[in-house]
């Protein structure tokens, strides 16, 4: 059995920028499941801080973080494009620092972004892309009502290998 850890889950605020970038860059290298790799985000702390402020004010974007002590160890996002025909579609992203997998942090982050989406009154569909080999994430998505809508062959290239990517969606 794993020990218990106390995590805070809340919306990100601009002062989270440095910790958030650290978490993003660390987790990008832990698995082959993230779109970002060694190239990093390319953002400065100031730019990230500005970006977080915009998300915080937005009703079609959200960024939820999981915090242990004063360190961000996971995050989940919903991002929509602000065009009338598609602003109801939020794309979901989620990552947890591998050191803390299995503590239900992914579950809590997912529940929180889905709650936010439900309450947004704009988002009516949440969609995501996930590598077919990522069984852990797919388990989580199916458990929370996402349906497989298609598989993109050669949807991603990791370590020189083309891999299939699942498209999943959920109406909210
Ligand atoms: C996907 C991810 C966010 C899950 O975070 P987590 O905190 O470990 O998740 P939880 O502890 O809340 O839940 C994990 C679930 O997966 C299940 N699981 C673990 N290994 C599994 C496997 N190999 N196959 C299927 N299910 C698995 C667990 O039993 C648990 O489900 P349960 O609650 O029904 O028992 C995390 O693994 C991660 O950050 N992965 C890398 C980034 C990523 O893949 N993001 C998604 C890209 S679309």
Atom of ligand 1 nearest to the CA of 96: 39
Q: Which of 5-19, 25-39, 102-116, 153-167 has the lowest mean pLDDT?
A: 25-39
DSSP per-residue letters across 61-118: EEEEEEEETTEEEEEEEEE----TTTTTEEEEEEEE-GGGTTSSHHHHHHHHHHHHHH
CATH of domain 8-121: 3.40.630.30
The predicted structure's pLDDT at residue 60? 97
What's the CA-to-centroid distance between 151 and ligand 1, angstroms? 20
Averaged confidence pLDDT in the chain: 96
Residue 38 pLDDT level (bands cut at 50, 70, 90) = confident
If one compares 160 and 5, the residue with the highest pLDDT of the two is 160
Indicate if ligand 1 lies below 6 Å from the C-beta of 136. yes
Atom of ligand 1 nearest to the CA of 31: 41
Q: What is the mean pLDDT of residues 123-135?
A: 98
What's the CA-to-centroid distance between 35 and ligand 1, angstroms? 17
Closest C-alpha residue for ligand 1 atom 12: 104
Indicate if ligand 1 lies below 6 Å from the C-beta of 140. yes
Q: What is the mean pLDDT of residues 20-24?
A: 96
Tens digit of each residue's pLDDT (9 = 90 or more) over 88-97: 999 999 999 9
Q: Which of 66, 106, 114, 134 to mutate to test the pocket of ligand 1 (most atoms within 8 A of CB)?
A: 106
Tell whether the model's pLDDT for residue 3 goes beyond 80: no
The tokens for 22 are 């650290």
The tokens for 165 are 């990517």
């Amino acid at each position: 059995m794993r020990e218990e850890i106390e995590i805070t889950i809340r919306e990100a605020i601009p002062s989270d920028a440095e910790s958030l970038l650290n978490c993003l860059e660390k987790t990008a290298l832990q698995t082959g499941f993230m779109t970002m790799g060694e190239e990093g985000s390319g953002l400065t702390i100031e730019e990230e801080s500005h970006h977080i402020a915009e998300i915080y004010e937005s009703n079609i974007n959200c960024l939820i973080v999981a915090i242990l002590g004063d360190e961000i160890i996971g995050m989940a996002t919903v991002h929509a494009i602000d065009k009338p025909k598609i602003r109801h579609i939020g794309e979901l992203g989620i990552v947890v620092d591998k050191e803390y997998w299995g503590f239900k942090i992914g579950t809590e982050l997912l529940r929180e972004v889905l709650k936010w989406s439900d309450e947004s009154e704009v988002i009516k569909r949440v969609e995501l892309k996930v590598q077919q080999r990522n069984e852990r994430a797919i388990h989580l998505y199916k458990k929370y009502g996402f349906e497989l809508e298609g598989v993109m062959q050669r949807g991603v290239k990791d370590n020189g290998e083309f891999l299939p990517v699942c498209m999943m969606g959920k109406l909210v």
